[in-house]
Amino acid sequence: MKIGIIGAGKVGTTLGMYLRQRKDAMAEIVGFYSKNVETAKETAEFVGTDYFEKLEDLVALSDTLFVTTPDGEIAKVWDCMRQLAAESKIDLNQKLICHFSGSLSSDVFVSIEHFGAIACSLHPIYAFSNKFSAYKQFHKVNFTMEGNEKAVETMKTFFESLGHGVCLLKKEDKAKYHGAMSMVSNHMLALLQTAVDTLGQCGFTRKQAYESLETIVTENIKSGFRFGAVEALTGPIERNDVETVEKHLKVLEPQTAVIYKELAKVLISMSKEKNPKRDYETMEKRIDNMK
């Protein structure tokens, strides 16, 4: 497999460096192309491969193309490739083209079969925090995939051979799937920030807040993954302590109280599953009635 990478940001750089370092990967990183030549050059130097000033030159040397641009650029990249193919400047026949958007499906590659190519969407379930170091933990990543059957099977076999888990999606589920990923990635940080701000109102410094929260947050998350979120659940809602929950809602800032109430509804549902003989009716009514 000869892989050309279009886009030299965090995702493209991580994939390139990771696959270059995996001696067991039956793949060659041909190089990088980016609208910003200097970015492509910087990434290529880091990864130890080539960069291309013309997209057609990268396509000509690759049998597999990874489009790792931001979501809004993927269709534009494909439009450019289609135009080049229509003008016979590139040959897309037998090429496998993948993008790495979490929310977009492979449908973004409009009429790809007309050019004799196949496509799929791949999404690494990972937060690409740093362009030059994210590859170090990439071996732990699972993927989701959807698209052309042959394309999916090829990429599934490839990444599974490197030890990655792969889940197959329906294209109509991409947005819902990405919403779930955003909640556990970004929304959890928003919840952490809300707790830090609330502790700040109680006199904690930011440093004290983070230090105080680290153990309870990390241990709860570990328990959630070890036993499942329902079994790991503790706290006043789970034990049906209505009085304590009412005290919380009376003193929290209005916006924070809204967050608390919405999450409390989910926690009640979880608590019912964990404790089927416990009556949470009063808890539900009090939360609904609290303003």
Q: What is the pLDDT of residue 290?
A: 72
Q: Which two tokens stand for residue 138?
A: 């990439």
Q: What is the pLDDT of residue 249?
A: 93
CB-based contacts of 249, cutoff 8 Å, min separation 6: 257, 260, 261, 287, 290
Q: What is the pLDDT of residue 201?
A: 96
Q: Rounded distance, CA 98 to CA 122, Å?
A: 7
Residues of the chain with CATH 3.40.50.720: 2-169
Q: Rounded distance, CA 120 to CA 160, Å?
A: 16
Considering the chain, what is the average pLDDT of its residues? Answer: 95
CATH of domain 176-289: 1.10.1040
Fold of 2-169: Rossmann fold (3.40.50)
Over residues 141-189, the pLDDT tens digits come to 999 999 999 999 999 999 999 999 999 999 999 999 999 999 998 999 9
Q: Which two tokens stand for residue 160?
A: 């599974």
Over residues 100-142, the pLDDT tens digits come to 999 999 999 999 999 999 999 999 999 888 999 999 999 999 9
Over residues 13-42, the pLDDT tens digits come to 999 999 999 988 899 999 999 999 999 999
Residues of the chain with CATH 1.10.1040: 176-289
Burial track 127-153 (b if 16+ CB lie within 10 A, e otherwise): ebeebeebbeebeebebbbbbbeebbe
Over residues 41-90, the pLDDT tens digits come to 999 999 999 999 999 999 999 999 999 999 999 999 999 999 999 999 99
Nearest CA to 123 among 76, 58, 42, 180? 180
Q: What is the pLDDT of residue 288?
A: 86
Examine the pLDDT at 291 and tell me if it is beyond 70: no
